[in-house]
């Protein structure tokens, strides 16, 4: 069955520190992968996506993600976190019906 696992429910980092959010997927075919961010009370904003090609993809707000087929991973990174990055982050893989299969999310807190 298709699934997405985000192992970390909650992460706290200091402002200016680097960030890596983990995502592992289970999908038989070539995956289409996404990272979304959600601020409290808001909708979902697409950070970046991987469809094919270069395994390192750049997104908005200084985020990047690396697709590693051998590890079934699509981890999200940012070199220096800003207080405004505090939010919940969702990894998703596109399912066979065109729907998105989401992980349960990782909540990011940023310490001043």
In the complex with other proteins, which residue's Cβ is closer, 5 or 15?
Answer: 5
In the complex with other proteins, which residue's Cβ is closer, 15 or 88?
Answer: 88
In terms of Cα–Cα distance, which of 59, 40, 41 is closest to 108? 40
Q: Report the Cα–Cα distance between both ends of the chain, in Å, rounded.
A: 41
CB 93 within 8 A of CB 31: yes
CA dihedral of residues 70, 71, 76, 81 (deg, nearest 10): -120
Beta pairing class for 10-14 and 106-111? parallel
- In angstroms, give the least distance from the CB of 17 to other proteins: 25
In the complex with other proteins, which residue's Cβ is closer, 19 or 100?
Answer: 100
- Write the binding mask 26 to 65 for other proteins: x where contact by CB under 8 A, - elsewhere: ------x-x-------xxx-x--x-xx-------------
- Only segment of 11-19, 56-64, 77-85, 95-103 that touches other proteins (CB under 8 A): 95-103
- Only segment of 14-22, 56-64, 74-82, 92-100 that touches other proteins (CB under 8 A): 92-100
Position of tokens 């310490």? 111
DSSP lists the bridge partners of residue 93 as 33, 101
The binding site for other proteins (CB under 8 A) comprises 4, 9, 32, 34, 42-44, 46, 49, 51-52, 90, 94-95, 97-105
């Amino acid at each position: 069955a298709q699934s997405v696992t985000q192992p970390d429910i909650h992460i706290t980092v200091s402002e200016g520190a680097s960030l890596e959010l983990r995502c592992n997927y289970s999908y038989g075919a070539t995956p289409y992968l996404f990272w979304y961010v959600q601020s409290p009370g808001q909708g979902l904003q697409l950070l970046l996506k991987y469809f094919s090609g270069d395994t390192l993809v750049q997104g908005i707000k200084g985020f990047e993600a690396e697709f590693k087929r051998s590890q079934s991973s699509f981890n999200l990174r940012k070199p220096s976190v800003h207080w405004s990055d505090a939010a919940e982050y969702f990894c998703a893989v596109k399912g066979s019906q065109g729907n998105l299969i989401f992980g349960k999310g990782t909540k990011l807190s940023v310490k001043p």
